[in-house]
Amino acid sequence: MLLLANNEAWPGFETSVQMLRDGAVSLDAMVAGIGMVEKEVKVRSVGYGGWPNMLGEMEFDAGVMDGNTREVGSVGAVPRTLAVAALAHQVMKRLPHVMLTGEGAQRFASEIGFAEDKVLFEDSRRVWGERLQQELTPQQLAKFPNIDLAPLSRTITDPERVRDTTVFLSADARRGIHAATSTSGWAWKYPGRLGDSPIPGAGFYADSRYGAAACTHTGEMTMRCATARTVVLAMKLGRSLSDAVALAVEELAELDTGFLAGVVIHAVDAEQNHEVVNFRCEGEVRYWLWKDSMPAPVLRTAKRVTRK
* CA neighbours closer than 13 Å in the CB half-sphere of residue 261: 16
Is 166 a residue that touches ligand GLY (CB under 6 A)? no
Largest CA distance in the chain: 62
To the nearest whole angstrom, how small is the minimum distance from the Cβ of residue 219 to ligand GLY? 2
d(CA 131, CA 11): 29
The C-alpha atoms of residue 67 and residue 81 are separated, in whole angstroms, by 26
Per CB under 6 A, the segment of 76-84, 90-98, 119-127, 182-190 that binds ligand GLY is: 182-190
Give the residue with the Cβ less far from ligand GLY, 17 or 206: 206
217 binds ligand GLY (CB under 6 A): yes
Neighbours of 201 (CB within 10 A): 20
- Least distance to ligand GLY, CB of residue 133, Å: 25
Q: Please give the DSSP secondary-structure letter assigned to residue 200.
A: B
Assess contact for 267 and 274: CB atoms under 8 A.
yes
Stretch of 49-57, 194-202, 277-285, 288-296 contacting ligand GLY, by CB under 6 A? 194-202
185 near ligand GLY, judged by CB under 6 A? yes
For residue 250, the minimal CB distance to ligand GLY (Å) is 20
With a CB cutoff of 8 Å and minimum separation 6, the contacts of 66 are 27, 72, 92, 176, 178, 206
Nearer Cβ to ligand GLY (17/64): 64
Stated length of the chain: 308
By CB under 6 A, residue 216 contacts ligand GLY:
yes
Contact 205, 55 (CB under 8 A): no
Q: Does 183 bind ligand GLY (CB under 6 A)?
A: yes
Q: Which of 53, 81, 157, 165 binds ligand GLY (CB under 6 A)?
A: 165
- Angle, in degrees to the nearest 10, between helices 26-39 and 13-21: 160
11 near ligand GLY (CB under 6 A): no
Nearer to ligand GLY, 176 or 198 (CB): 198
C-alpha–C-alpha distance, residues 169 and 156, integer Å: 33
- Shortest CB 59 distance to ligand GLY, Å: 10
Examine residue 52 and say whether the peptide bond preceding it is cis (omega within 30 degrees of 0): no
* Shorter beta-carbon distance to ligand GLY: residue 208 or 218: 218
The catalytically annotated residue of 15, 165, 166, 227 is 165
| DSSP codes joined into one string, 88-100 | HHHHHHH-S-SEE
- Choose which of 52, 73, 219, 262 interacts with ligand GLY (CB under 6 A): 219
Catalytic annotation present for 155? no
Residues that bind ligand GLY (CB under 6 A): 165, 183, 185-186, 195-197, 203, 216-217, 219
Catalytic residues: 165
